[in-house]
Amino acid sequence: MSAIDLTLGAKSYFVSPQAAAQRLPQAAPAGSTEPAHPAAGSVRFEGVGKTYHSSAGPVAALSGIELEIPAGSIFGIIGRSGAGKSSLLRTINRLERPTEGRVRVDGEDIAELDENGLVALRRRIGMIFQHFNLLSAKTVFDNVALPLRVAGVRESQVRQRVNELLELVGLNGKENTYPGRLSGGQKQRVGIARALVHHPEILLCDEATSALDPETTQSILALLRDINRQLGLTVVLITHEMGVIREICDQVLVLEQGQIAETGPVWAVFGEPRHDATRALLRPLEHDLPQDLLQRLLQQAPISGPYQRVLELVFTGQGRIEPDLDRIASLLGSRVRLLHGGVDRIQGHTHGRLLIATGPQGPAATELVQQQLCHHAKELGYVADHV
Amino acid sequence: MSPIMYERLWEAFLDTLVMVGASGLIALVAGIPLAVLLVLTSPGGVLEAPRFNRIAGGIVNAFRATPFIVLLVALIPLTRLITGTTIGIWAAVVPLSISATPFFARIAEVSLREVEHGLIEAAQAMGCRRWHIVRHVLLPEALPGIIGGFTITLVSMIGASAMAGAVGAGGLGDLAIRYGYQRFDTTVMIAVIVVLIALVSLVQFAGDWWVRRLRAR
């Protein structure tokens, strides 16, 4: 069975009826002023802040975080290192306690939980790590079985459940192997199996693919996406790679110096980044003007000799505007050559940038926007002769 | 060497084995919980208790600072309280184990402390209680280091047991002093040294072998 083909594993995975019933949101008591309890797997941050006290004085790792993570979504948190991503993620299962504000999981303020409540909460929230954090002294089977064993689950059930999960992540046959003998991708699969063993409603991913090569990253991301779809659990992941966000996330939060820089659907944030931090993070994925063109670009049209205009067309993903090359060419009325650029389709929205060269005559760049052929357009300059 | 000397050597060997074995067992049983407590209560540990940690650490250091031969004499009242006598093998076991326990605890503590914090965090995240973390994470992950540390403890206890003659406990060291040194019997001296070297090598070899086997996984 391929690692990401979940049909077999998922059949038995779809939670026993009792377990499902336990997870159903309780109805708010009649006449209560409390909002109705949201669906299982939602997280709400209310003015969350975290201040460390270092020898150099207080350091604010997080401040004023107001955020709602909808149940069942894949929510990405991105930021440069030191932006507070890890701290924010760790407040969800109280590995870190905020110094201000509240974190609510399914409407419940987790700061008030006693030890038993906290253990129960953590069994509803799975977590995977950048460095996998598998126990080297235990086999793959025993690593995955550990969360069940410490919860006092009967051994026959443990065996059944662990086998289901190893099948789900495509590791059957590796039960008796020690983690030291596995590749990075396999270790992360063990980590995922271990995180899912209690039928969690939320999966926290702490830079889960940062230690993996690009190919393995893709397969782990595909596995996470399939788990999200098949099991309907909420995935909250932090990363410093925009590619990961683009690949699987529904919503993204850009964190900068412990504060929210911007947040929204991935296509919107990628299509029209509003914050410098976002733009900086997106730069590796962008199609900037190539060096050779940049050097030949003139700000004024040359007085003599043939020249061409270089236009930049931006697609933000808003509405239904997509690069319609035929209409662009006929509007510009002369030869149109595509110099450079690229578009991505994210969640059904096309965004990207195209650089084109076209004849000196023809309508201004703004005409393209008016005709709804792109979202933003400008003349970058002129180049003599052929580009 | 006369047949009677062989017999003495054999008896002394057994005495050493019993002394080191018994006090080694006590050091193991008492040292591991002590090491776990020191790690758990240290700043940043899962059972943070700075004051307890400082006091326990202080006591451990005090015993570690006292030379064994001094401890042997200083602990005589306690030894009498526990064993009812102040001479013989069992009288030596008391100071031996009291000296070896803090020594071993400190070595085990280092191994426990080296368990990656991420593993403890992962255990917490999966809903482990503190006891589970000790049982399933700290001890198994630190096991190779603990075994290596116990090997070192046993070897240094074999050395320390040579002083047990001071309380009339016998053993190989005592034999070497009485016959080899006081009676100028070089043969006995050499025989004792050879036996000691063999014993220490065997302990070290067994420990290393076990550690290697655990690390190979």
B137 near A CB under 8 A: yes
- What value does the mean pLDDT take over residues A57-85? 93
Please answer yes or no on whether A133 and B141 come within 8 Å at the CB atom.
no
What pLDDT does residue A144 have? 98
Banded model confidence at residue A386, pLDDT cuts 50, 70, 90: low
What pLDDT does residue B177 have? 86
Model confidence over B19-39: pLDDT tens digits?
Answer: 999 999 999 999 999 999 999
With a CB cutoff of 8 Å and minimum separation 6, the contacts of A75 are A69, A234, A235, A236, A237, A249, A250, A251, A252, A253
Q: pLDDT averaged over chain A? A: 87
In terms of Cα–Cα distance, which of A340, A332, A331 is closest to A361?
A332
A87 near B CB under 8 A: no
Q: How far is B108 from chain A (nearest CA, A)?
A: 17
What pLDDT does residue A39 have? 57
Q: Indicate whether B114 pLDDT > 90.
A: yes
What pLDDT does residue B55 have? 96
Q: Indicate whether A272 pLDDT > 80.
A: yes
Beta bridge partners of A379: A311
Banded model confidence at residue A1, pLDDT cuts 50, 70, 90: very low
- What value does the mean pLDDT take over residues A78-90? 93
> Torsion angle of alpha carbons B89, B93, B94, B99, nearest 10°?
140
- A11 versus B27: the higher-pLDDT residue is B27
Q: Indicate whether A216 pLDDT > 50.
A: yes
A110 near B CB under 8 A: no
Q: Indicate whether A16 pLDDT > 60.
A: no
Q: Dump strand ranges (E) for chain A.
A: 43-54, 57-69, 74-79, 100-105, 108-109, 125-129, 202-206, 234-239, 251-256, 259-265, 307-315, 336-346, 349-358, 376-384
Banded model confidence at residue B59, pLDDT cuts 50, 70, 90: very high
Q: Could you give the ipTM of this predicted complex?
A: 0.88
Banded model confidence at residue B122, pLDDT cuts 50, 70, 90: very high
Amino acid occupying residue B154: L
A115 near B CB under 8 A: yes
Banded model confidence at residue A55, pLDDT cuts 50, 70, 90: confident
- A32 versus A224: the higher-pLDDT residue is A224
Helix count and strand count (H, E) for chain A: 14, 14
CB A66 within 8 A of CB A233: no
Tell me which chain B residue has its CA closest to the CA of residue A182. Answer: B217
- Phi, psi (degrees; rounded to nearest 5) at B171: 100, 170
Question: Reduced to 3 states, what is the DSSP secondary structure of residue A298?
Answer: strand
What pLDDT does residue B217 have? 81
Tell me which chain A residue has its CA closest to the CA of residue B214. Answer: A137
Model confidence over B164-209: pLDDT tens digits?
Answer: 777 788 899 889 888 888 888 899 999 999 999 999 999 999 999 9
Q: How far apart are CA B62 and CA B70, in angstroms?
A: 12
What pLDDT does residue A36 have? 43
Q: How far is A167 from chain B (nearest CA, A)?
A: 20
**Dihedral-angle region of residue A133 (phi above 0 means left; psi in -120 to 50 means alpha; beta otherwise):** left
Closest Cβ opposite residue B122 in set A120, A133, A149 = A133
Beta bridge partners of A308: A383
CB A203 within 8 A of CB A234: yes
Please answer yes or no on whether B124 and A95 come within 8 Å at the CB atom.
yes
Q: Indicate whether A309 pLDDT > 60.
A: yes
What pLDDT does residue A347 have? 86
Which positions in chain B touch A204 (Cβ < 8 Å)?
A: 125
Lowest mean pLDDT among A30-34, A119-123, A152-156: A30-34
What pLDDT does residue B1 have? 78
